[in-house]
Copies of this chain bind each other. A is one copy, B any other.
């Protein structure tokens, strides 16, 4: 190999935390005080060309553990050829997931798997930047055979074979040019969670729900699950604010046991909820199947905490969900999300991604837009979550226009954060935290 082959020279990691808990933004029945955080990674390169940026998302404490897990992957990445990495991110994916010693810490779940996701997201940012395309377009333009080569079929071949995946992708290309044009003109439908946080007053809920409709959204979402009487009141308030034709999803953030989920959801049925999201543990495939039978015709949705393609496979096999909510930073990055999109297409279940937090909207829009242009071929019953927090810290923030995500045009995965944000919110030594901690601001356990 030539000494001048561009290579990855460093994997730099950053513990970045935003003090969102102080405004009760993002409060729900399981997460009363999240500090939206990113375990952020930059792949430095030897040639001075664009670098790869990626991250996984946490809600505060433990973001340092997540950074330590990314650090543990460094030896697999440093020294790799940039060109080889961009030509075949799947090769790195297999090496990272397959590290036999690190695999013990999962396998393929939790901290270690999210760390793999952060690194692979950075690799795909690098690949898209160097291809001069937004990631959604890089994926939509790619050969179906190459896309199939990027997917790990281990543990899912009983539900989806490489041949079946190839057929889905070939079929998905029919009409892709028209859909790509439509996407650039109209964007991809969004729904908004901004009105419905548990910590908000009824007045604020009413105001934000009405604003959402005025802004062109056709679906909103409310957090539920802490107190049934409160939920009944809040659902009534929200339904009155948006009228009968706006879809209103509700989200319990894993609060319930199976029987409780059925009872509680049924008690809110009068307000015509569109889906019940995360009614119970994300690990409980059979529980979701029972809940779905019990709350019909209200739909069941989950996915933001579903650990990998293997659990998604079973949720689909068991007929446990109506809506699949993949997350850009929970699983092992774009490669595993390709597997999940293919599984959803195979079972004909719509994907409505989880987003919000910090940077999740920026990332996940690319996956849904690829799905629309070159896989499922439709946006029917499909919406990407939108929450209006922290976008200002990104170089290429999402743009919402009349209730739609506008298609990104800048090369990359929209993952790159402003250097000023990094310098300010790096924990514990960034400008904000240094001042805050010196002032005795936040206790370790608030």
A residues engaging B (CB < 8 A)? 30-35, 58-62, 64-66, 68-69, 72, 75-76, 99-114, 153-155, 157-158, 254, 257-259, 280-287, 290, 305, 307-308, 310-311, 313-314, 317-318, 444-445
Is B155 a contact of A34 with CB atoms below 8 Å?
A: no
B61 touches A107 (CB 8 A): no
In the complex, what distance in Å separates the CA atom of A257 from the CA atom of B75? 29
* A282 surroundings in chain B (CB, below 8 A): 107
- Give chain B nearest CB distance to A329 CB in angstroms: 11
The residues of B that contact A313 with a CB separation of less than 8 Å are 284
Q: How many angstroms from the CA of A305 to the CA of B106 in the assembled complex?
A: 8
Contact A310 B290, beta carbon cutoff 8 Å? no
Q: Which residues of B contact A307 (CB under 8 A)?
A: 109-110, 283
In the complex, A76 Cα to B310 Cα: how many Å?
A: 33
CA of A76 to CA of B284, assembled, Å: 28
Cβ-defined partner of A158 (8 Å) among B76, B287, B314, B318: B287
Q: Which residue of B lies closest to A290 (CB)?
A: B158
* Distance of A76 Cα from B155 Cα, bound (Å): 37
Report chain B residues within 8 Å CB of A157: 257-259
Given contacts A68-B68, A283-B307, A314-B286, contact A30 B110 (CB under 8 A): no
Least distance between A125 CB and chain B CB atoms (Å):
23
Nearest chain B residue, comparing its CB with the CB of A291: B158
Kindly report which residue of chain B lies nearest to residue A153, judged by CB atoms: B257
The smallest beta-carbon distance between A76 and chain B, in angstroms, is: 7
Q: Is the CB of A100 within 8 A of B158?
A: no
CB distance from A75 to the nearest CB of B (A): 5
> What residue of chain B has the Cβ atom nearest to residue A445's Cβ?
B75
Can you report 22 A-B residue pairs in the complex whose CB atoms are below 8 A from each other? A33-B101, A58-B101, A59-B101, A59-B104, A60-B101, A61-B72, A62-B69, A62-B72, A65-B65, A65-B105, A66-B105, A107-B281, A108-B281, A108-B283, A109-B283, A110-B112, A111-B111, A155-B257, A155-B284, A158-B287, A158-B290, A287-B314
Q: Is A314 within 8 A of B290, CB to CB? A: no
Q: Does A58 contact B104, Cβ atoms closer than 8 Å?
A: yes
